[in-house]
Amino acid sequence: MDEKTLVEKMKNVVIVDDVLALAKELGLDWTYEQADEALGRINATKNDIAELAGDTMEKVAKEVFGI
């Protein structure tokens, strides 16, 4: 999956199960705890202050999902 598609899918995650499904789609075998941590990072980027600080969805996609 390319970065643009991943970022779009990340914007739509709401619960940990969504993150687990996305990780599975990427071929990752994550635990609930890993997905919960990723959800926290994703949600943290969904506000304007995070973007001003440089914490973007693209950055999280690279760090969390290795894309």
Write down the pTM of the prediction.
0.86
What does the alpha-carbon distance between residue 27 and residue 14 come to, in Å, rounded to a whole number? Answer: 20
pLDDT at 67 over 90: no
Looking at residue 50, what is its pLDDT? 75
Phi-psi region of 7 (alpha: psi -120 to 50; beta: other; left: phi over 0): alpha
Q: What is the mean pLDDT of residues 47-57?
A: 78
What does the pLDDT look like over 13-47, one tens digit per residue?
Answer: 999 999 999 999 999 999 999 999 999 999 989 87
Q: Is the pLDDT of residue 10 over 80?
A: yes
